[in-house]
Amino acid sequence: MEQPTDDCEGAVAQQLDQEQESLGTLIDHLEIVVTEAEKRTNGALNIREFYTVYLVETKLLKGSKWPNSRELSSLWRRYSQFEMLKLYLENMYPFVVCPCLPEKKSVYSWNAATNSSDTFDPDFVDRRRAGLETFLIRVASHPIICRDVVLLMFLQQNEGWQDKLKDYAGYITKAESKLKSLSLPSRLKNPDKRFEVYHKYGSDLHLNISSTLKLRSKALEKQYCLHKLHANYGRVFSEWSAIEKEMGDGLQRAGHYMDSYASCIDSTLEEEELVADQLKEYLYLANSLQSVCRKQQIMQLNLERAMAVVDSKNIEKQRIQQGI
């Protein structure tokens, strides 16, 4: 009597899997947009904490039938909550190279001398808003993690989704401590050559992109200082032209030329920001690839330890059988 029941349960599970596959991915049914950002504050008057929140809006497409989804939702999320979601997905699906988040703080920036390192800078906040939207779209487009219940709750429920993460908090902490404390490649007896190649590729990619960003940042910062120095020259020539009578027109034209030369750096900086953001995206994807390889090494280490225990037990069993 048990066999038909098992066959029935297997058929039902297979039918559910086929239905989910026929639905496609979440992005095929849900429009996801991070529309705006807002600066908020909390705490007492003396000690105030400022932070930025992002408005995540979702809309169920016409004719879509994604399970447990709402037609419309609009809620605010902090960047730290996006980090929690990404950490959960990385540990829940260790075999997936999870899409990367935009940078939390501006790194490898050309304008370290200016105020662009401020996380509340409007341009930086807008770029991060676009990066967070791209992250959600990529996660919702992934054929595996798009079906996660916590992901849908993050997108459409203001509360309750964080309670789901409590069940995985101990696992996440344990995995992080292992990844930080162990020097795995030197301790593995039979490392997987494929993952060693991927890990080396990710490490080399991370190193090369970091070096490229540093060099571009230093070169552009010098170029920026040079152009702004000409802006000072332009101001001096303009003031000088008001004093000189015979050379006034020539000094004024020279001042205008210096001003135009100083302002032409702005378009170059905007283009550089776009290129740098793309390089940073590959930088963080290299980190995600290395994370997958490290988790494989953790599993390999646990497997080798379990096999060692089994071998020792078998030896002990043989000694007992031989009466030793």
Model confidence pLDDT, tens digit, residues 167-222: 665 555 555 555 555 555 556 788 888 888 988 999 999 999 999 988 888 888 88
Entry pTM: 0.76
Higher pLDDT, residue 163 or 226: 226
Please report the pLDDT score of residue 16 as a whole number.
42
Q: How far apart are CA 303 and CA 309, in angstroms?
A: 10
Q: Is the pLDDT of residue 57 over 50?
A: yes
Strand stretches in 69-199, DSSP E: 72-78
Q: What is the mean pLDDT of residues 265-279?
A: 83
Query: pLDDT tens, 75-127?
Result: 999 999 999 999 889 888 888 888 989 988 877 666 544 445 567 888 889 98
Query: pLDDT tens, 233-247?
Result: 888 888 888 888 788
Confidence tier at 20 by pLDDT (50, 70, 90): low
The amino acid at residue 54 is: Y
Average pLDDT of the chain, as a whole number: 81
| C-alpha distances in Å from residue 10, one per residue of 5, 13, 15, 54, 256 | 9, 5, 9, 43, 79
Q: Which two tokens stand for residue 283?
A: 């930088």
Query: pLDDT tens, 291-306?
Result: 888 888 888 888 888 9
DSSP 115: G
Q: Is the pLDDT of residue 132 over 90?
A: yes
Please report the pLDDT score of residue 140 as a whole number.
93
What number of other Cβ atoms are within 10 A of residue 85's Cβ? 24
Least confident among 42-51, 84-93, 141-150, 228-237? 42-51
Q: Is the pLDDT of residue 42 over 50?
A: yes
Q: How far apart are CA 98 and CA 93, in angstroms?
A: 8
